[in-house]
């Protein structure tokens, strides 16, 4: 028996729970463990399938977190895992200092499916790294420095991406950060106009703010940004790390408004949650910078043979099953149910909003988000509040979710809101 056989053969879930909690406390991060428990996220993931995840004890939940959009094609998607298994039979990751056929094939596919004239791809592993590539490209191409970003935006926590994230709590302990990032209110074109200087390189935003509380950018705002950027020779960067690959009801969220950015950042569901990969896709016009600087991203593990083949299989799955259309259909069903809950619990539900299966439900105060997540778990649903805004619970299930599962989640919200109403009455 190998170490992996031993690990997978263990069936005593009390033993597994104890061992895992001890390892978190002793060797990983006891404070993260405490936070998971307080937020109703203390499920130790065992089986994963479709829209569901099972705790190691066998308790089944509908996963409305999906790692903030990693599992659009469903948990542990068999077609995508089989693709990786086949790839592993033939290849290792591939050397980064060599020419990789699979990388070219994936870049070509991305050029075909991304909107407008987005064409070239540079690959890395995580979303934050891909944001860094986008910022390097913008500064390199324009030879200007300033990046206008959005208050409450989230772009990761790595070197060039952390300063773009629009919440002080993530940044303060690590100052000084890379300078040149200016934050303005989201969905406010005048604020961007006022922030532009002769040194502005790019405007960076999420077309739907995820961690900022599921806030969609308005179509006319995006059109205004496009015009402003073009007139001032500034690049427009869309971070589609959460919104990409069908989540909002289109393959990419940019398609709703018809506005094409100069650079699009992709990660999370790009390879179905089976193997890490991310990228920045950009237009030919800005590729000139690569002529003198072909290695602006040197990344041993970015865009490996295995990652690219897995991503090609994930994209094939999303297209074959028309997951964007499914996200739109199930999103409408969700929205109908959530609006009924807003009418039923007007003192507790301030707003419901979102696009496709990227939905948020807003409560009147911060403490209700974490309490709701704990109650939802009791009622069979895994959920989490948005990081920059705990008043809002996100609903981001796999796009393969069925009608019955959508109704189950709505029912779980109904039951949980009833309990919150009782708790609130008790406090008065
Ligand atoms: C919009 C957005 N951009 C970037 C990132 C960073 O991605 P990663 O955690 O893979 O670095 C995230 C992560 O949640 C994200 O939501």
Domains of the chain are 32-63+323-427 (3.90.1150.10), 79-320 (3.40.640.10)
Q: Taking a C-beta distance cutoff of 8 angstroms, is the pair 180, 138 a contact?
A: no
Q: What's the confidence (pLDDT) of residue 92?
A: 95
Q: From ligand 1's centre to the CA of 157, what distance in Å?
A: 8
Q: Atom 4 (ligand 1): residue with closest C-alpha? A: 155
Q: Atom 8 (ligand 1): residue with closest C-alpha? A: 127
Q: Atom 2 (ligand 1): residue with closest C-alpha? A: 155
Q: What's the confidence (pLDDT) of residue 253?
A: 98
- Tokens 């970015």 correspond to what residue? 302
Name the packing angle between helices 323-344 and 305-320 (round to 10°): 70
Ligand 1: atom nearest CA of 131 is 4
How far is 276 from 269, CA to CA, in rounded Å? 9
- DSSP for 102-126? HHHHHHHHHHHHSSTTEEEEEEESS
Tell me the whole-structure pTM to 2 decimals: 0.97
- Spacing of C-alpha 276 from chain mean position: 13
Q: Among 125, 128, 269, which residue has the most ligand 1 atoms within 8 Å of its CB, making it the best to mutate?
A: 128
- DSSP for 23-43? HIIIII-HHHHHHHHHTT---
Q: Among 212, 242, 245, which residue has the most ligand 1 atoms within 8 Å of its CB, making it the best to mutate?
A: 242
Q: Among 69, 125, 127, 157, which residue has the most ligand 1 atoms within 8 Å of its CB, making it the best to mutate?
A: 127
Residue 43 vs residues 21, 302, 356, 367: alpha-carbon distances, Å: 11, 30, 26, 21
151 CB burial (10 A radius; 0-12, 13-18, 19+): middle
Q: What's the confidence (pLDDT) of residue 14?
A: 94
Q: Tell how strand 52-55 and strand 60-63 pair up.
A: antiparallel
Q: Which residues of the chain have pLDDT under 50?
A: none
Q: Of the candidates 409, 412, 407, 402, which has an alpha carbon nearest to the alpha carbon of residue 50? A: 402
Question: Which stretches of 255-325 are assigned E, i.e. beta strand?
Answer: 263-266, 278-283
Q: From ligand 1's centre to the CA of 153, what distance in Å?
A: 10
Q: What's the confidence (pLDDT) of residue 226?
A: 98
Within 8 A by CB and 6+ apart from 227, the residues are none
DSSP classification of residue 269: G
- Tokens 């995508």 correspond to what residue? 80
Residue 242 vs residues 251, 266, 340: alpha-carbon distances, Å: 12, 8, 27
Q: What's the confidence (pLDDT) of residue 428?
A: 67
Ligand 1 neighbours by CB, cut-off 6 Å: 68, 126-128, 131, 154-156, 206, 210-211, 239, 241-242, 267
**Residues facing residue 239 across a β-bridge:** 265
What is the phi/psi pair of residue 21, to 5°? -65, -40
């Amino acid at each position: 028996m190998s170490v992996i056989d031993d690990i997978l053969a263990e069936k005593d879930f009390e033993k597994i729970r104890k061992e895992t909690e001890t390892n978190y406390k002793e060797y990983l991060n006891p404070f993260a463990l405490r936070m998971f428990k307080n937020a109703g996220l203390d499920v130790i993931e065992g089986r994963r399938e479709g829209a569901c995840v099972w705790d190691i004890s066998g308790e089944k939940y509908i996963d409305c977190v999906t790692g903030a959009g990693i599992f659009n094609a469903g948990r542990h998607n068999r077609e995508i895992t089989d693709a990786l298994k086949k790839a592993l039979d033939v290849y290792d990751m591939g050397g980064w200092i060599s020419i990789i056929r699979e990388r070219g094939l994936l870049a070509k596919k991305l050029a075909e499916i991304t909107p407008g004239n987005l064409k070239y791809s540079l690959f890395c592993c995580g979303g934050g790294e891909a944001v860094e590539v986008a910022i390097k490209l913008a500064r390199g191409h324009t030879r200007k420095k300033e990046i206008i970003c959005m208050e409450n935006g989230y772009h990761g926590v790595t070197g060039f991406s952390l300063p773009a994230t629009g919440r002080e709590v993530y940044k303060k302990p690590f100052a000084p950060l890379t300078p040149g990032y200016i934050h303005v209110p989201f969905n406010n074109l005048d604020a961007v106009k006022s922030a532009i200087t002769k040194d502005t390189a790019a405007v960076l935003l999420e077309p739907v703010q995820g961690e900022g509380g599921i806030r969609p950018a308005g179509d006319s705002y995006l059109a205004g940004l496009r015009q402003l950027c073009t007139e001032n020779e500034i690049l427009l960067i869309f971070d589609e790390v959460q919104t990409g690959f069908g989540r909002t009801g289109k393959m990419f969220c940019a398609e709703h408004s018809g506005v094409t950015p100069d650079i699009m950042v992709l990660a999370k569901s790009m390879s179905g949650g089976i193997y890490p990969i991310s990228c920045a896709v950009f237009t030919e016009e800005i590729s000139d910078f690569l002529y003198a600087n072909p290695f602006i991203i040197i990344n041993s593990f970015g865009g490996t043979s295995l990652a690219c083949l897995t991503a090609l299989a994930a994209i094939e799955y999303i297209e074959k099953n028309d997951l964007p259309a499914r996200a739109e259909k199930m999103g409408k069903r969700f929205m109908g149910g959530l609006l009924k809950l807003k009418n039923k619990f007007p003192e507790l539900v301030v707003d419901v909003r979102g696009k496709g299966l990227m939905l948020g439900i807003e409560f009147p105060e911060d403490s209700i988000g974490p309490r709701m997540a704990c109650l939802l778990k009791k009622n069979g649903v895994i959920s989490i509040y948005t990081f920059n805004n705990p008043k809002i619970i996100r609903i981001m299930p796999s796009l393969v979710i069925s009608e019955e599962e959508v109704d189950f989640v709505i029912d779980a919200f109904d039951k949980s809101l009833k309990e919150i109403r009782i708790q609130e009455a008790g406090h008065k």
